[in-house]
Structure 1
Amino acid sequence: MSNNAHEILRSSYDLTLSKELIAAYEEAKRNFYLGGHRLSAVEGGRFCEAAYRLLESLTKGSFTPIGDSLNTEKVTKDLAALKAADYSKSIRVYIPRALRVVYDIRNSRDAAHLADGIDPNVQDATLVVSVIDWVMAEFIRMSGIETPDNIQALINGLVTRKIPVIQEFGSFPKVLRADLKASEMALILLYHCGARGARSSELTEWVPKQMRNNLRRTLRTLESKALVHQVNQTTIITYAGQKAVEEKGLLDP
């Protein structure tokens, strides 16, 4: 998650709960993309516990202390009983119901058992990360401390796949593999950037020095294969480019 998203959550909501929410979210996503699907679902449950408490804090000014048993059924009923004039439907209904799905997967499906010999962990983890993406985006959207355009950009970035092969140092995304061709390096960076794409100047800064001189030619070749789309000075990965990154196994460090 970007540093801006961190700052928005910490500035808008209880600091302790924001830290818990962010930590569980990032660990769930990291486990998912590294193939730790059971652990991703477990962290999804931890995310839910922080999110339920955050909703308590928003509506009551207090929350169930961390470490104490959380009565999620009561929290959900209390939220549903709030006046529509006072709180959005997202707070009263949508977020609690979404959290319930993830929480039940962690608790009822046990995130470890086989069902009729078929391992449900992949499908469960896929649902979990999609839901927590949506919930996190809702919290950012509801913060109201940024311009609509900035909020939209943060949300778009949030629900774009983040990949373990990239480690961010501030605003610099470092690719953690030295065995890649220039085209693969560019695709990974563009995959990371998602729908916003990357400017030519950014890509030039991010790729290794030995790849910079021929970067424009590399991008033109990728565009000729419909793997990227270039508009003005910005390059955006296409669906075909995303599929190529995934099928080549370029996501893991």
Structure 2
Amino acid sequence: MKVDAASALGNLPPSLRSELLEEFNKITRNYREGRWEASELNGGRFCEIVYSIIAGHLDGDNYPDKAKKPSRFKDACERLSNAPTTYSESARLTIPRVLVPLYDVRNRRGVGHVGGEVDANHMDATFVLHTTQWLMAELVRIFHKTDIATAGEVVKNLTDRTVPAIWKVGEVARILDPSMTLADGTLLLLYSELGPQSERVLAKNLEQNTIGNYRRVLDRLHKARLIEYERSTGTVHISPLGEKEVEERLLPQGAFS
């Protein structure tokens, strides 16, 4: 179900609403693409935007023009509980308390996890994803400008599980949609990584044992200008047209249009 953001969050200023949706979409997109560290980093900025919204709401709907980072994030969130009890407990207590651990994932856990620890990036990114979904659902409940039934459907869509498009197991990346064509799978794998990939790595991830046959797929994508394929080196780059194809056709769309 597609719902216009102006209705779903209609009582928010357009500037803050735009910032909120942009960061939320980054988090969900990075999670689908398996970009765990990027997903966590965006979670910190998301917290600052939600804090600015809630602080403005509790100050008589006196919102800043742009989201701002408070000097002591935890202390600032705790002070929101001093707002008049005429405001909802969700705005005064629950949302601020949820923001603190979400913010700490970036500032205290450290997205790199350098050292001897087991790599927790995927686990942390999953926490970031579902916590931001819950926060978005609460904001829709508080700030929606639509009927209750429609707002409820938006909340339901936001809290549905988001399944990554790519599953990484060690050095191998797998496309989770078994119906996806080789050409589309190639574009998605290229899109999910920074920089070029080798034809043999792509063939391995797509379970193509005959490199000659797979090269014909790469040739077709090259002719369509969706990729740049250098046969002499076996190097494959995704083009701006290829990125656009992935974003508009292959990646699942969010709850907001």
Task: Tell me which interval the TM-score lies in, with the shorter structure as reference length.
Answer: 0.5 to 0.7
Matched, 1:76 2:71: no
Go from structure 1 to structure 2 and tell me whether the alpha carbon gap of 1:164 and 1:127 turns closer, same or farther (over 3 Å shift): closer
Equivalent position of 1:207 in the other structure: none
Identity across aligned pairs (percent)?
Answer: 27
Residue-by-residue CA offset, 1:150-201 (whole Å, 9 max, x unaligned):
1111111112245676xxxxxxxxx9x8629xxxxxxxxxxxxxxxxxxxxx
Alignment of 1:139-218 (within 5 A): 139-162=139-162, 179=181
Using the TM superposition, give the Cα deviation of residue 82 of structure 1 relative to its aligned residue in structure 2, in angstroms. Answer: 1.6
Residue-by-residue CA offset, 1:33-88 (whole Å, 9 max, x unaligned):
1100111011111110100000111111144954665432342132111222x111
Residue-by-residue CA offset, 1:90-124 (whole Å, 9 max, x unaligned):
00111111111110001111111246331111110
* CA distance in 2: counterparts of 1:114 and 1:52, whole angstroms: 29
Go from structure 1 to structure 2 and tell me whether the alpha carbon gap of 1:120 and 1:149 turns closer, same or farther (over 3 Å shift): same
* CA distance in 1: counterparts of 2:69 and 2:47, whole angstroms: 14
Using structure 2 for the length normalisation, give the TM-score.
0.59
* CA distance in 1: counterparts of 2:31 and 2:65, whole angstroms: 28
Contact 1:10/1:19 (8 A) holds in 2: no
* CA distance in 2: counterparts of 1:26 and 1:37, whole angstroms: 14
Alignment of 1:88-167 (within 5 A): 88-114=88-114, 116-162=116-162
* CA distance in 1: counterparts of 2:9 and 2:152, whole angstroms: 18
Alignment of 1:214-229 (within 5 A): none
Unaligned runs of 5+ in 1: 166-174, 181-250
Using structure 1 for the length normalisation, give the TM-score.
0.60
Question: In angstroms, what is the RMSD of aligned CA positions?
Answer: 2.8
Equivalent position of 2:20 in the other structure: 21
Aligned length: 171
Amino acid at match of 1:39: A
* CA distance in 1: counterparts of 2:39 and 2:140, whole angstroms: 22
Contact 2:16/2:65 (8 A) holds in 1: no
Equivalent position of 2:46 in the other structure: 47
Unaligned runs of 5+ in 2: 166-176, 183-249, 253-257
Amino acid at match of 1:179: T
* CA distance in 1: counterparts of 2:45 and 2:53, whole angstroms: 13
* CA distance in 1: counterparts of 2:33 and 2:120, whole angstroms: 17
Select the structure of larger CA radius of gyration.
Answer: 2
